Copies of this chain bind each other. A is one copy, B any other.
Amino acid sequence: MPTVSSEELAAAAGVNSAKLRKDFSYLGSYGTRGVGYDVEYLVYQISRELGLTQDWPVVIVGIGNLGAALANYGGFASRGFRVAALLDADTALAGRLVAGLPVRHIDELETIVADNQVSIGVIATPAGAAQEVTDRLVAAGVTSILNFAPTVLSVPDGVDVRKVDLSIELQILAFHEQRKAGDDRPEPDGDVPAVMPA
């Protein structure tokens, strides 16, 4: 039986082994003292806890470059996500194949969500369309929304929204870059803060 120790996993992940053991302990007691963790069993338990063993149908709304990139993104299928439909308001796009799926018109949204029991929607539309799409998704029964549009969405209680801003990570890099440059010369003006986030 292939096993792995908390020490090995911690080294691979770059964290402290006690933290790793404590985190695992919240999921249950899946290790064996003196031996380690049964790899296969551990993978299964973590997958189940994270919801990776379930099938999650999602709809992607807005099939521009970003929507197409998301539809083609391999990481979704391997984590239990199934693209139930690609939707766009542009009738010229209707029927075109993207990542092997036909683009369908936004007016089919309600039917598709109901027929496929979709609970997760991905918004890759321009900012101006995002709120209206959100309202329709929510009315149709979607309770989780991943928003790539650069706008804040309002939703009723009970609906989760996560916003992805593609430039935030770039901004974090630029922040560190600025710090690197500043290490060998004085700041151009003003004070250097004593503490800043990593």
- Give A residues with C-beta under 8 Å from B: 26-28, 45, 48-52, 54, 56, 58, 64-66, 68-70, 72-76, 79-81, 119-120, 122, 143-146, 150, 158, 160, 162, 164-167, 169-178, 180, 190-191, 193-196
Contact = CB atoms under 8 A, between A and B. Distances in A.
A contact face: mostly helix, strand, loop, or mixed: mixed
Contacts of A195: 26
Contacts of A52: 171
A79 B81 CA distance: 33
* Copies of this chain in the oligomer: 2
Contacts of A80: 174
Contacts of A76: 167, 170
Identify the 9 closest CB pairs spanning chains A and B, nearest first: A65-B69, A66-B69, A75-B167, A144-B173, A51-B178, A65-B68, A26-B193, A51-B174, A28-B191
Contact of A66 (B26, B65, B122, B146): B65
A173 to B, nearest CB: 4
